[in-house]
Amino acid sequence: MSDNKVTMYGAEWCGDCRRSKKFLDSNNVNYTYVDVEHDDAGKDKAISICGKQSIPVIAFNDGTFLVEPSDIDLKKKLEELSVL
Q: Is the pTM of this model over 0.85?
A: yes
As a CATH number, domain 6-80 is 3.40.30.10
The string of pLDDT tens digits covering residues 19-56 is: 999 999 999 999 999 999 999 999 999 999 999 999 99
- Identify the pLDDT of residue 13: 97
Rounded Cα distance between 58 and 34, Å, is 10
Residue type, position 28, single letter: N
Residue 2: which pLDDT band, with cuts at 50, 70 and 90?
A: very low
Contacts of residue 15, Cβ cutoff 8 Å, sequence gap at least 6: none
Q: So what's the pLDDT on residue 3?
A: 58
